[in-house]
Chain A
Amino acid sequence: MPQFFLNKRLIILLVSIIVLVALIGFSLRERSKLTWPEQFLKDTTGWVQSLVSKPTHFVTGFFENLQDLQNTYDENKELKSRVENLVNLEAQVQELKKDNEELRDILGEKRTLRDFKPLPATVIGRNPDRWHEMIIIDKGKLNGIEKNMAVVTATGLLGKVKNVTQFSSTVQLLSAMDPKNRISAVVQGKKDVYGFVQGFDDKQKLLLIKSIPSGDKIEKGQTVITSGLGGVFPKGLMIGKVVDIKPDQYGLNQTALVKPGADFYDIENVIVIKRSMTKSVNMQTSDGKEKDY
């Protein structure tokens, strides 16, 4: 038995397992920001990554343009028919905007949850192991990006900023499983229905919207947007369309399965959303531990 413990390799293995557990425990706990060696390494690799990814973006962009040229004729036909409808819609939007502004003037309330400032960014990397669905973008603290900001593509909500370093930041996609990550959402209908985006079905590639009271009526095809009630995301970012509804485990709530508007693969350019309306005072005192976005 003493010989068993004297085995050098075994001791190294045991020590490294202890170190492993300690390190994982350290990095899993709620951190408001990364330690400086991590930030330094991330910034350095981020610089190299952007050096490599810019030319590759150029090359792939060229091939994508070639592919687009092939479909030009069909697309043009379809788009022409859509443009005719667009003129009508634009006039309506103008009218509604005017109406809205007038009504707001009467109320004396200028700011809304909808207002935001967009910050465009380019994707320079993605987590290769794909357990933690994350992308790395080329804008950081110096460009005004902060933790927990919403990130969108042209077609819908993509995720939120997970960590920020000086020159780059990581974005956690909606498809990542993180029980701490909840986004307040609205299913748009005659009566708005509120719920939380919480989890992702890996096999069907659908988002799960949970905590919807079982009495509320939802139909397939309804649009889901962010509600802006969490304090960080603005209101009105497109999340997706309802595909299916099923009752919860205990029948008290229902879960809506939503097809995300954004494509979680092959992402090149994203927009980081900075909400104009800041958090209310009592949210700031909760010291970053608020978990609904």
Chain B
Amino acid sequence: MRMLQVGRWITAVGLVLLAGVYVRALAYTPVEASQGLAQKIFYLHVPAAIWAETAMVLVGLASVFYLFTKDQRLDRFAAASAEVGTIFCAIVLTSGPIWGKPIWGTWWTWDARLTSTLFLFLLYAGYLLLRSAVTDPGARARFSAVLGICGMCEVPFIHLSVYMFPTLHPMPIVLQPGRPKLPGSMLATWLFSLGVFTLLYVGFVVQRYALSYQREQRESHA
């Protein structure tokens, strides 16, 4: 119960600060000359993409340790991180095409970065479906741990896809070797947004973890 309240408070603070990101991005950050206002989608799209990928890496790491230790807390965390990662991946896959249409002239193209991100979303969906389909808790945890590890292995490919298959999607401008290629005010807004998405990830995962714990406690008493 206490954990649920903590998660709710973190999420509430994250949502209030998200409004701050909107205000800062729309009113206090310069408009990029070649892309116009559509470039401001960057401040939501990239932090969501970073957390969609990081969430899957954390699912994979928790899964590896679960297979060695059989600690239920790791399985519970992996399930929570996967559900939240699905939400962030959905944000990437909706904000990306909305940004792509005015800049590339198309909503979607089978570019390596876009396709691998769609694959990540399908892996997340498969992970959640698998968990809901298997009723035995031990088998569910084992099977989903294997899928979680497969998902983690895809993440480096997503990040490197723009270097291996350079087509429409631009190269990273912040997470790349050397200094970020962004003016200071844009970088400050982006870092603020990344902090808010981090807070939202933590708040969501804590709430989702607490829900799983409550359900398991109820089932064990029944």
A and B interact: no
